[in-house]
Amino acid sequence: MVEKRSFFIRMMHPLIVVLGYLFLYLPIAILVLFSFNDSPVSLVWKGFTLRWYKQLFYSPELFAALKTSLIVALTSTSIAVLLALFLVMSSHW
C-alpha cells in the first residue's frame, strides 16, 4: 500500500537532494573555474589564462604530483571495478 506523504515532506525531499548535490559539486565547480584565473591570489579574478596548465608541464614537481594522482585514480578505479565484477558474479551463482 502506498502511503500518502504530507505536502511538506514532498516539497522538502527534492530541496534536500538539490542542497546535497550543491554541497558536493559546487566546490569542485569553483575550483575548476578559478584554475583558469590569471591572478596568483585565487580570491581575486584578473582574467582568463591557461598559464597554470602550461606551468604544470614545465614543473617537474607538479608533473610528478599529476602522475601520482593518475596512478592512484587508475588503481582505485581498477580495484573498485574488479570488486564490483566479483560481487555481481557471485550474486548470480
Instruction: Report pLDDT digits (tens) over 14-65.
Output: 899 999 999 999 999 999 998 898 888 777 888 888 988 888 778 889 888 9
Tell me the three state secondary structure of residue 45.
Answer: coil
Please give the sequence-ordered ranges of beta strands (E in DSSP) within the chain, or none if there are none: none
Angle, vertex CA 20, rays to CA 17 and CA 24, nearest 5: 140
Instruction: For residues 32 and 26, give the distance between their C-alpha atoms in angstroms, rounded to a whole number.
Output: 10
63 and 89 in a common domain: yes
63 and 29 in a common domain: no
pTM to 2 decimal places:
0.57
Tally of domains within the chain: 2
Residue 19 lies in domain: 1-49
Q: To which residue does cell 602522475 refer?
A: 67
42 and 23 in a common domain: yes
67 and 32 in a common domain: no
Of 65, 36, 66, which Cα lies nearest the Cα of 52? 36
Looking at residue 17, what is its pLDDT?
94
